[in-house]
Every structure is written in C-alpha cells, then in structure tokens.
Structure 1
Amino acid sequence: MTSNQHGRCNGLHRRELLQTGAAALSGLTLADFLRADERSTLDPAYRKRSIVNVWLAGGASHLDTFDMKPDAPAEIRGVFQPIATRTPGVQICEHLPRLAERLDRMVLIRSLMGTVDSHDGAMCATGYPPGSLKNLGGRPNIGSVVAKFQGPTNGNVPTAVAMLSAYNPSEQAYFRSAGFLGPAFDCYMPDSAEGRANLLTRNITPERRSLLSQLDTLRRDVDARGNMAAMDTYAERAFQFVTSREFAHALDITREPPEVRSRYCADLGNSPVSKIKLGLQNARFLMARRLIECGARCVNLTWEEGGERRWDTHRDNFNALKYELLPSFDIGLSAFFDDLETRGMLEDVLVLVWGEFGRTPRINKDAGRDHYAPAASALLFGGGLKVGQVIGSTNRYGEHPSNRPIHYQQLFATLYRHLGLDPAMRILDRTMNLLEHTETIRELVV
C-alpha cells in the first residue's frame, strides 16, 4: 500500500499517528501505556477521588507564609506582618489575604520534617530523597503509582498528568517519572505554553496548530472505512485517546467562560522589581480542574512564578515574595479553591501545596533565606478532610517541630488512603513497602 493510500496528516502517516499516541513515554506508544493500565483495577468506591499535588519549586519560606514568628527578633521574623484568618486564633502572612479568608475550610501543617537539603522534587513527588533506588530506576511518583495499581477512570483521559515548568527539568523529572514501575506509567506531560496543549509527543515536527482539526477528519475517515474494528483493541483505545474531543477540550482553557478565567488572573502584568510576567502559572490551576473533571486521578503541578525566581530566595527574599510570588499565588490558589467548591468537587479532590523544604529562620546578609530541611509547612484542602485546623507547630524561631512532628511520607500516606491505596502495600515484586512511614494524619480523617 502506498503512502497516499495510507493517507497523511501534515506529513504523518495515520499508522504513525497511532504509534505516536498522545504521551511522551520514552519511546513507548500510547497503546503500550494502555496495555499497562488494563492490568490495573479501580475500586468503584474510589472512582471519583483524585489529588492535585502542587509543588512550590525552590522551597517556600515557612516563616514568611504560614508559620510566622512576630515575637521573634527582627533577624528572624522579617518585615512582613501577620493577619488574622477565618480560623480563630490563626494568623498567616499579610500578602495572602484571600487564603486567610478561606482558611477555615483548609488545613495548615506547621511541623513537617524528614526532608533533605536538595532542590530535586523527589520528596514532594515520591516521599523519598533523590537517588533512592536509583539502581532500579528510581522511586515512582504518586501519579504513576495510581496509574499502575488503579488505572484510569476514563479511557479518553490519562490517569496521571504532570504540568511542569521548563526551568531546570532535571529537578522536576521526579514528578513525571514512574521509576522502577517502568516508563509505561510515566505521567502524561501536556505542552501548556499558551494555556493549551497539543496531543503529540514533543519530537513531532509538523505544524501542531492544525493537527486537532485534522484528527477529526482522520477519525471520520477511519470510521467510514470500517477499519476501527480490525485494529488491535489497545491501538483502538489509543486512537480514541489521541482523537478525543473531551481530552482536547480539557486542555483548552479558552473554552472556559471569560468570567471564570478572569478569576485566576493569569496575566497580572510585569513585576516592578524584575519585569517578569506575573500570573502565568495560574492557568495551570484551571487546567488541573478541567483535567480532574474529565477523569484524571492525579495532577502533579509546579508553581514557580517567573521560572528562574522560583521560591529559592537566597537573595532579596522579601521583595521577591511581596512583588512576584505571594500575590499571584494567593489569587490563583484561592480561585482554584473557589472553583472546586462551586462545582461540588471538594469532597472528592484533595489538594496538597508544599515545597521541598523550608528556609532558614535567620535572614542572611543578602536579605534572603537559605535552604532549611529541619522544618517546613504545608497547606491542604478538599478530600473530605477535617478542615479549619492547624496541625503541629515549630519552636519560637521556626527552627524545628516542637509539637506533633509530621513526616513528609505521612502526607503521602494520607493521599494514598484518600485514593483507596494502602500505603503499606508491597511493591517491586512484593519485596518492599510503598512507604516506610505509613501512618496517616489522624487529625485529618473525618
């Protein structure tokens, strides 16, 4: 059969399109991915449950956000003032007013411990330090674990999605990689540079803007020829996935009403201190909601305004937070919370917001704060949690937990329980537990 008989889509054979699929899977086709998912089962009781894992890349300062120390010396407390929240007796940073208004429906954890001094996202993606089980391929991120042991809720939408920034990809690879589970369970990575995503791998060269309409034509053509029935079952599912209007629409946030998009303020103009564009990361919150609505079970999401600034504020910590990080983060995360609440999704969607470590209590000579592993904070909402509470505390200078220390892996245990997975389950040919710290956070369970 000639190339013309096969037909081409902007330089791609139809057969090549099926082989390419819709995910960057390290050389594997989407059909391979779907074969792997087919071996998974999902308890119907947990079919609607999902998580959004938000990584504040670079490590946000706990003392300047959720665990302020207003009575400490100036070189510890910094220049920001605390403000009251809707949770009685609880204060957070003055530059997070929208989150303060919603804190009675959220949970703060102020006593995180057990992390390491490394910018790699490993602790927030897998619960383990970078390099753990490297000789076996590394630890899998939480989304890949879900894809392996539960699988999809909707054949048109990937089980796990990773929306990562282009800055220092090696640090963020942990949020995509399935590690020793194998690349068939890697998270799907959409290209969301313009708030949309294409449905092909990154190494495809034809013009992508016209591809979606061509996929519609391809679907009609194949259906008319009756060839769908002759395809391998998994290849047919892959075809349905790559041509799914549902998935394409989920990735297209321009389909949202303008009044919804405006709440996320995805364009706040330029920073007065560095001229970077602000608010662009907030589109990811909106896309995460749309993906979850369509059936994704885990979305790993990096939030680092401006890319290179991130939350790694060794220098000029307070200007970076005041003008570039906290205001747009406050707007975007609050809009995401409101969106989930308005749509009745908070019971089933559990959102976790955290960084790989905290920052030094003592301000350095460059008006910054350095890496600090002994203490950190996290914010959670949704998932049917017991909200309106603060769990744990640090000592008077924010140096280490003084009450109810919570290990990073305990948050993973809580996420896995929400999804219907046993954090003590045996994996890797039943030779080891999924987590070492398998106790869920009892204060959160209704």
Structure 2
Amino acid sequence: MLSLFSARESRLPRRMLLQASLLAPASLMLLTRCHAAGAKESAVPSFGRAKRCIFVFLNGGPSQLDTWDMKPDSPAEIRGELRPIATRIPGIQASELLPRMAQLTDRFKIVRSVTHTASVHTTGVYTMLTGTYHRTPKVDQTAALPGDHPHLGSVAAFLMARQRSAPPFVCLPTLFRAPPVEGVWPGQTAGFLGRRFDPFVIEGQKLTAEFQFSEVEIPADLTVGRLQDRRALLNRLAPAAVSETTAVRAWNEISEQAWSLLGSRDFRRVGNLSEEPAAVRDRYGRHLFGQGLLLARRLSESGVPFVTVYWIDPTPAGPGGGEFDSHGFIYKHMRERLLPPADLALSALFEDLWERGLEKETLVVVLSEFGRTPHINKDAGRDHWPEAQTILMAGAGISGGTVHGATDRYAAYPAADPVTPPDLGQTILHLLGVPAELELRDAEGRPSLASTGQVDEKLIG
C-alpha cells in the first residue's frame, strides 16, 4: 500500500484526495535558501556531487564486532563466534557471513568510529536519521512530535530537483512502529517542516515481497475525463482572493504532486519489479529487503533524489529480538536470518549501480541507530551500544577500499577520528548540494539550521 503523504496518520483514501486539496494547514512553513553559503560551497568539488541518495537503514543495531570491526585477538567473550575473512583490499577484514560484500570492499568506505549517546531505539533512530541529537537521548518509547527535526531526506527534498511524476523523497517498505509508542517513531518524517516534505511511503507485503502501487491508480469507475472535470471544478471553487501565503503555496505544491502521481504510468512502471529479469530479482533476494533495494535502484534511476530503505526481517525472528536487535542468541540470528540475506542484497545493489554507471552520482549510506556491546551477555546476545558503530559509505566520489576511524581493542569507543551524527548528516547534505547554512523556519518563524554539524572531508576523500 502506498500513501500519498505519510503513514504518520491514518491513510488518505483516493476519494478523499479532492477534499484534502481544499485544506491549507497552517503548520507549513517558510524555508529560506542561503544563497551566499551555497555559492561559497559550490566552489568545493565535492559539493553537490551526488544527484541521488540511497539510504539503507539496518534497524535494530548490527554488531560492529561481528561485521566490519572484528577483534580476533580479543577474549572470546568479546570477539564472539564468527571468524574474520580476507577482503579484496589487503589488511581489511570482514565477517565470514559477508563473503559477497568482502569482494566489493574496493567500492565503499568503512567508517568505524560513528558515536553518540542515544541508547534506546526511538532516540537512536531519530539521531541517525536526522543528524541531530534528541532532547532526551536515553528516554525509551519516545514518540514523534510535530516539533521534531526533519529526516535528512526531507531536508534534501526541499533543494533537490525532481521530476513532476515522481516524489522527491521516498521510503519503503514501511515506517517504524512498535507499541507502546503511539504512531511512528521520531526522525522518520519531516517534523517541524510539515507534511509537505514527509516521505512518500511505499509499503511492501512481507509474505510476498511485493510492493503495491494501487493508491496511485485511478479507480475503474472514475475515468480520466471525470477526474479532470473534478480538478477543474476544484480550481473554480478556490477563492480567487485568497492571499498567496506560504501555507497556501505549500499546499498547492502538495496538491500538484498528488495530481501528477495519480494515474502516473511512469511512476507505476518503476514500481513494477516484474519488468526485471528473474535472475536480477533472485540476485537481490526474494525477500522484502532485497526487493526493496532493487526498487530503490529503480526509483533512483528514474529521478527520485532520496530513497530510504528500512530493514525488514526475511523470516520470523524468534527468541532473542527482532531485526538486528539481538539481545539473545545473536549468532543463531546472524547465521540464519540476518547477515546472509543482507550480504546478498547489499552486494547486488553495489554491483548493479556500478554495472549501470550510476555510482558516480549516487550516494549510498548503510547505517543503523547504534552498535552493540563489546561483551556478550548472559543470554548469548549483545545489547545496545551507541558509543561505537560501523557504517558504510559509497558512490558520489567517496573513496572506496578505505577505512575511516578506528575503535579501541574491544570496539567499545572511538580511538581515532570519531564521527558524530551531526557531522555525518552535514557531510551527506553537502554531497547532495544542501548548503551548510541552510535555514529552516517553522510556522512561528523560528529559525533552525538544517544541520548543526561540520562537513568531514575525510569521510569523502
């Protein structure tokens, strides 16, 4: 199922589209471009090098010690059960459960020193998706609020060009929800920017690994002519004397996007994965994460500037935790349901982008909300650990075959070149052509910088 606006609230049925177009929510706000800052940054070669971004979020928190920051010389209760294997790059090791990605290490940078203090899922997700520290980083079950900082994709969507027939920011296959939190977790939407910049949510069906685009199809009982008549009537009913306020202009843009997507054959065609050869679909993996990465490649190639793909377990999690949140039996989960499908799908994405020549202008970031504890706990698992996380960055001029940062002997804390979420977020926005001094104004006119971090050139070079 696909939502024209956001899964934050209940879905908006097609027949309510015209009614929704009559609304003008006052929460939409003024955004100001910082032209001087943008002109200054444009002189930097890396600024705006990425025309699109695929943002892969392995929710739950993969263990850095069991993936890309292994410590084979540490005690058994630290290093765990998995053995390291050689990669394409001498001196760089990977987990034995990542053999395909190990052969592609020349294409991506391994960043081993991402660090913050948000030790629970909701605030960790917020911190990494927005590049902004949460006001209560250790308070669990935190719900999304209208005043939250926007997702990096929402910020990028404001400045990046897009085709009229495609939304600027898409996420799939769902938004995080988990009781007792009401609604979606914070950080996944446009926050104080308002629904104008929310992601366009494409929901997938876990059992079939298919994505449905029925919400952008015109119902059988409604012809194109009748739809155009309704739109013409709506335009005539709109008061001619309404002042051209920021809110009115913003809602007009939402309405125009909705009309352009409704019945868009091009957009539906992009979502038709049956157009891909069976071998390609098999290569990504016939599960929701694999097919989601394939759809992300198709969306990016078609002109969608920012696509976020969230991890969904291919099989039932069982005892110990869902997604990558393995508080117990971590090696059973790693071997049976986590790393093999992730290795298959991610390696397929990297190979696909390079084969199609898309890597020069496509930024790929693979990350999560945090890492996991150095010590294995009494339940044979690892717990939350935001102090050290390993992420991957590739494309758009990122130097592949390199490692940025390092952790101590237990992979517990950064020992060199720490990377904060604000600096990571600002670097991503910089590559996408978003000026460092971009100022966002909310409904009350209060200014806020798009990011409070600094561009880390070491992450790029």
TM-score w.r.t. length of structure 1: 0.80
| Separation of aligned partners in 2, 1:39 and 1:294 | 28
Letter of the 1:436 partner, please give it. T
Residue from 163, 167, 175 that aligns with 1:158: 167
Verify: 1:294 aligned to 2:294, yes or no: no
**Residue of structure 1 equivalent to 2:434:** 421
Instruction: Report matched runs for 1:168-317 at 5 Å.
Output: 168-169=177-178, 170=181, 173-193=185-205, 194-200=209-215, 212=217, 214=219, 218-219=223-224, 222=227, 235=255, 238-266=258-286, 279-305=287-313, 306=315, 309-317=322-330
RMSD: 3.5
The farther-off stretch of 166-175 and 138-147 is 166-175
The farther-off stretch of 153-162 and 183-192 is 183-192
**Residue of structure 1 equivalent to 2:366:** 353
| Separation of aligned partners in 1, 2:456 and 2:235 | 50
| Separation of aligned partners in 1, 2:224 and 2:49 | 29
Secondary structure, counterpart of 2:112 in structure 1: strand
Letter of the 1:147 partner, please give it. A
Letter of the 1:61 partner, please give it. S
Does the 8 Å contact 1:315/1:369 carry over to 2?
yes
Does the 8 Å contact 2:100/2:344 carry over to 1?
yes
Alignment CA distance shift 1:310-1:135 (3 Å): closer
Secondary structure, counterpart of 1:406 in structure 2: coil
**Residue of structure 2 equivalent to 1:374:** 387
Structure 2 unmatched runs, 5+: 1-11, 138-143, 239-251
| Separation of aligned partners in 2, 1:430 and 1:225 | 38
| Separation of aligned partners in 1, 2:50 and 2:415 | 37
Letter of the 2:148 partner, please give it. G
The farther-off stretch of 426-435 and 292-301 is 426-435
Cα deviation for residue 441 of structure 1 reads: 2.4
Instruction: Report matched runs for 1:335-414 at 5 Å.
Output: 335-414=348-427
Does the 8 Å contact 1:349/1:382 carry over to 2?
yes
| Separation of aligned partners in 1, 2:25 and 2:258 | 9
Cα deviation for residue 164 of structure 1 reads: 4.4
**Residue of structure 2 equivalent to 1:111:** 113
- The aligned length equals 403
The farther-off stretch of 428-437 and 385-394 is 428-437
The farther-off stretch of 36-45 and 313-322 is 36-45
TM-score w.r.t. length of structure 2: 0.78
| Separation of aligned partners in 2, 1:386 and 1:224 | 53
Q: Taking CA–CA contacts closer than 8 Å with sequence separation of 6 or more, which of the two structures ends up with the larger relative contact order?
A: 2
Does the 8 Å contact 1:75/1:363 carry over to 2?
yes
| Separation of aligned partners in 2, 1:292 and 1:225 | 32
Secondary structure, counterpart of 1:281 in structure 2: helix
Alignment CA distance shift 1:159-1:13 (3 Å): closer
**Residue of structure 1 equivalent to 2:457:** 442
Structure 1 unmatched runs, 5+: 1-11, 22-27, 201-210, 267-278
**Residue of structure 2 equivalent to 1:139:** 149
Does the 8 Å contact 2:34/2:435 carry over to 1?
no
| Separation of aligned partners in 1, 2:71 and 2:230 | 69
Cα deviation for residue 84 of structure 1 reads: 0.7
Alignment CA distance shift 1:244-1:426 (3 Å): same
The farther-off stretch of 211-220 and 233-242 is 211-220
**Residue of structure 2 equivalent to 1:122:** 126
